[in-house]
Amino acid sequence: MGGNRNTVADEKPHAVCVPFPAQGHITPMMKLAKVLHSKGFHVTFVNTEYNHRRLIRSRGSGAVAGLSGFRFATIPDGLPPSDADATQDQEALCYSTMTTCLPHLKKLLGGLNNSADGVPPVTCLVADSIMSFSLDAAAELGVPCALFFAASACGYMGYHSLPFLIDEGLVPLKDKEQVTNGYLDTPVPQALGMSKHMRLRDFPSFVRTTDRGDIMIEFVLHEHQQARRAAAFIVNTFDELEEHALDAIRATLPGPVYTIGPLSLLAEQLVLDDGKLAMIRPSLWREDHSCLEWLQGREPRSVVYVNFGSITTMSSQDLVEFAWGLASCGYDFLWIIRNDLVKGDAVVLPPEFLEATEGRRLLASWCEQEAVLRHEAVGVFLTHCGWNSTLEGLNAGVPMLCWPFFAEQQTNTRYVCMEWGVGMEVGDDVRREVVGDRIREVMGGGDMGREMRRKAAEWSEIAARATTQPGGRSLANLESLLKDVLLMGRLPASNKA
């Protein structure tokens, strides 16, 4: 199995979890790690050194001290040292992790397998699907490695479509003007496993390049190919939501595919009785708990909740347009504004806006989003449609207004609006009139808003059945994943499949 110890029958299986070092990837991997711990695994959760420092600043050293059988470890990300409290450049981070992290992970695994403080030997790796160098580390150790896709199944097939889009001559763009001249509205109904409503603009944002050698195009193609080597492929979704895309994934990958989502519901059920484990939270920003207090006492479905996630940046002009759209909508609103939300500049809101919305708004830097979305006062979610946020909105039965920014958020938006019937687009070009009108459309009780709320409530019920009720497909898939893949590393070599 690697190392110089043999696994004995009474030792726990040991899973090493390796998320991509961004908040939207760390969050679901932490939920999966908690699920594994609740199932009897010793867990080592691997942060980058940069993000571990951020986690300590946001949560305190006690939050990362670990508990029995759940520990944190770190590896460098290969980028220049920084103590900034902001999301790192994603392009640089992708290239750096792909090219520099493997030897550091190997060294960490060797140390775990030669530990003298009672840590059981590593029996499996669960790595983010874009940290595929983990496959090489696991192979050297002789243990299975499952890849965890932190985004949607439709997003995965959007990435899978890149070679098709290149072969069709749709990507790369011929010139930069095609981003704004209507070219992105070209229908692409024939992409494998995708909605028939797809336009070029609905594929992951990396298609919007004029450079065939663009680093993100090359990164996606490389990581996508590596996925074929995994012992298993894990997706944070549920079968009923993305059946068509999941069928396509299963047809294109040689290994088994396990849907175990929504992980937030699955983790909540399985770790409900473990208070210490529930207290381990992966937020890289300090959460403002006044948000929940502010919601108390407000009428049901009377508040607009606005959060563009951990990576989105916008111009000062877009910020102002959103602000006046919220001011004009007539409803109370809770707006999460990170200190790095405005690209290359400070966040500055007009004094007139602050005066006009006094008493009906709360501005905060971060919050416990799942709790906010579940609060009965929240009536609509203005979101970037990252997959965690999209699932959390579906779980809570809250309609969405969508302003995607990056990666497969564009694909999620198209599905939210056209396939799942729970959202509307704000549009790339932010206009205050459109923002205000969209909010009133959903909140004001019109036919479209009522239908969106009905569909959102329906998806919420289906998600709960998949993860919290006996016979739920995600629950059953989790048990199969453990038995057929993640526990195989405990067996003698002669008994392995």
Sheet holding 378-383, edge to edge: 361-364, 332-336, 303-307, 378-383, 400-402, 423-425
Other CB atoms within 10 A of residue 289 CB = 12
- Distance from CA of residue 425 to its chain's centroid? 20
Inter-CA distances, 184 with 25, 187, 201, 209, 212, Å: 28, 8, 5, 11, 17
Tell which residue, 28, 125, 171, has the closest CA to residue 485: 125
DSSP string, 73-117: EEE--SSPP----SPPPHHHHHHHHHHHSHHHHHHHHHHHHT-SS
Inter-CA distances, 376 with 181, 268, 298, 305, 398, Å: 42, 19, 9, 12, 10
Known catalytic membership, residue 25: yes
CA dihedral 203, 209, 214, 215 (to 10 degrees): -50
CA pair distance 459, 361, nearest whole angstrom: 29
Token pair for 297: 């006492």
CA pair distance 96, 133, nearest whole angstrom: 12
CA pair distance 92, 115, nearest whole angstrom: 33
CA pair distance 35, 149, nearest whole angstrom: 16
Q: Which of 14, 37, 52, 128 is catalytic?
A: 128
Q: Are 165 and 198 in contact (CB under 8 A)?
A: no
CA pair distance 90, 98, nearest whole angstrom: 12
CA pair distance 496, 304, nearest whole angstrom: 53
Q: Are 180 and 190 in contact (CB under 8 A)?
A: no
Known catalytic membership, residue 104: no
Token pair for 440: 């009133």
The one-letter amino acid code at 59 reads R
Q: Which of 25, 52, 160, 384 is catalytic?
A: 25
> Strand (E) positions, 210-313?
232-235, 257-259, 303-307
Task: Please state whether the peptide bond connecting residue 172 to the residue before it is cis, i.e. omega within 30 degrees of 0.
Answer: yes
Where in the sequence numbering do the catalytic residues fall?
Answer: 25, 128
